[in-house]
Amino acid sequence: MLLVALAAPLAAQQPPAPPAATGGTAAALDVIPRPDSVVADSGTFLLRDPVSIVVVTPTRRLAEIAELLRQWLSQPSEFEVVVRRGTPHRGDIALALDPKAGGGPEAYTLTISPGGVRIAAPDAAGVLWGVQTLRQLLPPAFDDTTAARPDAWAIPAMTIRDAPRFAWRGAMLDAVRHFFPVAFVKRFVDLISRYKLNVLHWHLTDDQGWRLEVPRWPRLTTVGAWRSDAYGTPYGGFYTERDVRAVVEYARLRGVTVVPEIEMPGHSVAAIAAYPWLGCTGDTIPVATDWGVHPDVDCPREPTFALLEDVLREVLDLFPSPYVHVGGDEVPKDRWKACADCQALLRAHGLADEEALQGWFIGRIGQWLAGHGRRLVGWDEITSAPLPPGAVVEVWRDTATIAAVARQGHDVIAAPGAYTYLDHSPGSLTLARVYAFDPAQGLTPGEAAHVLGGEAPLWSERITTANFDLMAFPRLLAFAEALWTRGPRDFAEFHRRLLAGEEPRLASLGVAFGPEDRDVLAMTPVYDSVSGRVGMRVATGVPDITVRYSTDGRAPTLESRVYADSIGFSAPGTVRFQAYYRRQPLGDGRSFTIDTDLARGRPYRVATPPSPRYPGTGPRNLTDGAFGSTDLHDGFWQGWQGTNLEVAVDLGREIPIATVAGSFLQDVGSWILLPRSVSVWLSDDGATWRAAGSTLADQPPERADPFTERLGAALPAGTTSRWVMLRAEGSGPLPSWHPGAGKPSWIFCDEIVVR
């Protein structure tokens, strides 16, 4: 069974590499992941009506797999397919347990001859993967129910011997930032099982929502499952106990273990919004509406542990997985530092600092889980303190950490963002790069033995049901092969199999393929200094994407006007954009506001150029009249790291001036802070300057939600000038409580406003 396979020593999953595939016809088969050994034989097997599936070894699990195969064959083919036990006859498909059929519980041998098909494996898990391979050996047209149905489907005769390299082959579904209905989750299970991925890591709680029903604590879902979207409309959802049991059973049948993630002690804003006493301050806070890291975290008091243990009891009842993921990542410590109860805990347990307090927290939860027969999994930040026995570390930050954790003797799940984060645009994480991923690269055999496998996270800040397929596929198929297949890899040969077999097959199933090495959708603000208009440059990586817009501040709909690159805007107001793919909203939309002031359209100079990472709309960004959102990536912000901002604007002639200000962003989770102070200077010639006023930022750096603020000075009545200068002093290194403590902070500015 799958649970056995996941819990088994990894060495059992990594037998010596077999010979390379041989045989003319069989070697060119369009199977993903590529099997270990393919030996061609003469003749073909004809799948024809009626079809008989024979369970040779009479076990309940093989009977379940046979029933799945019956459904998978009968529905597309329209053949009569029956399942029986006993001895196979000519033309039958036989499923059998055979200890000689390969090494490891997920190994299998698939034999195809003109007289029939036999799938044999030491364990039922291997039989299932053999069945999935058999499905891919059928022509892609088999799954296209709109095409004509022939009397028989031919499969070349061959013998395939196959086994996975890694035991843990997972995909992570973030159902918090955007919610995915049960039917969608099941569909995803179907797809990952097709390609022999065997773990669904279900991210169920975070700052932006709590998705798991816990009857004893109802406010976790009545309050914590809902937040306001950009237009103030409630957004969210959650999974009932019945929903979860349905998904878990659906996944079990398809060889997929569902590993739940309940975030603690950080990323807990939704839980604290439901029960404010979970936080150190006791303040009532809303469910987070923005992404990033938030300061409110679980306070390690006894009532907090009582609730968390109740939640985990519910988790253990719903999820039979031997693993429970508890997050443990990105935990700011400022609330703990200011909390008398936390400081008392430090003293009582002899803990050196708040980092050690987090280790104590994770250790306590790990011991509780171990006492109930489960293993704790956490993101790699949990290694900053001693780990509880049996803990598994999921490494996300970099590949070097994989080796470091393995050398410490801890089991590892490899999910480095640079290779596996499929929420990253294909333009920055290409298909070829995902295919090159090797969780154990550079490790000694002893270190590699601690690598259970890997995972491909699909964080959903910018992923919804509309663009999910475009982001996941085809890169998830490259990831599946990287974890399954042993021996040398050939990207060109993989790419041939992808285009010849799986792209048409998945297309017939309604799965959309995204681009391999460019963005699905790129919307880049542009400013025309001649016309004074602001527009959007739209680039799409796939067809059927339409961008619509509104100028009245309302959300664009399918009935709104279609945007073209030739359209620009200059009138004051808010412009909103929404992309649609196959008539579904693609992402959360974009917006900017246009306003008029004395500096709009005027030339300026800056003492230090902005970072090329954040160029805004170009050299007139600070006077283009367009104001960005709280999304630092919206294209309207320019950024300066570790330096001050000094910008001098030529107003063209001496005119009366009442106020001068800059529009700034704070997003502390992204290292962006308001300037410490802002001063205004005036000049008649742009060379000699006189001070005109200053102000200090009045917002605390620990304020976590992204926000914008205008900082500047009001000038005395009757003030006139041709030139104005704004100097913004940076906040210096990030504070000690920040995850990036000591690193230089950023200043972000999108406009200089003169009135």
Q: What is the mean pLDDT of the chain?
A: 93
One fold for both 520-591 and 595-755? no
Stretch among 388-392, 491-495, 512-516, 737-741 having the lowest mean pLDDT: 737-741
CATH pick for 595-755 out of 2.60.120.260, 1.20.1290.10, 1.10.630.10, 3.40.50.2020: 2.60.120.260
pLDDT (tens digit per residue) in 423-438? 999 999 999 999 999 9
pLDDT (tens digit per residue) in 344-355? 999 999 999 999
| Beta-carbon count within 10 A of 81 CB | 22
User: Phi-psi category of 544—alpha, beta or left, where left has phi over 0 and alpha has psi -120 to 50?
Assistant: left
- Residue 65 near residue 135 (C-beta atoms within 8 A): no
Looking up tokens 């008398």, which residue turns up?
340
Active-site residue set:
206, 267, 330
**Is the pLDDT assigned to residue 19 strictly greater than 60?**
no
Domain definitions of the chain by residue range = 2-162, 168-508, 520-591, 595-755
Q: How sure is the predictor about 702, in pLDDT bands with cuts at 50, 70 and 90? A: confident
Share of the chain above pLDDT 90, in %: 86
Q: Quick one: pLDDT at residue 28?
A: 56
The residues, ordered by sequence, that sit 6+ positions from 208 with a Cβ below 8 Å of its Cβ are: 176, 177, 227, 269, 270, 287, 288, 289, 291
**Is the pLDDT assigned to residue 497 strictly greater than 90?**
yes
CATH code assigned to 2-162: 3.30.379.10
Q: How sure is the predictor about 334, in pLDDT bands with cuts at 50, 70 and 90? A: confident
Looking up tokens 């050994």, which residue turns up?
37
CATH pick for 168-508 out of 3.90.1150.10, 3.30.450.40, 3.20.20.80, 3.40.50.720: 3.20.20.80
pLDDT (tens digit per residue) in 53-85? 999 999 999 999 999 999 999 999 999 999 999
pLDDT (tens digit per residue) in 179-190? 999 999 999 999
User: Once rounded to an integer, what is the mean pLDDT over residues 10-25?
Assistant: 37
Question: Exposure pattern of 192-226 as b/e (b: 16+ CB <10 Å)?
Answer: bbbbbbbbbbbbbbbbbbbbbbbeebeebbebbbb
Distance CA 390, CA 367 (A): 9
Alpha-carbon distance values, 733 to 635, 701, 741 (Å): 25, 11, 7
CATH code assigned to 520-591: 2.60.40
**Is the pLDDT assigned to residue 16 strictly greater than 70?**
no
Looking up tokens 């992309």, which residue turns up?
579
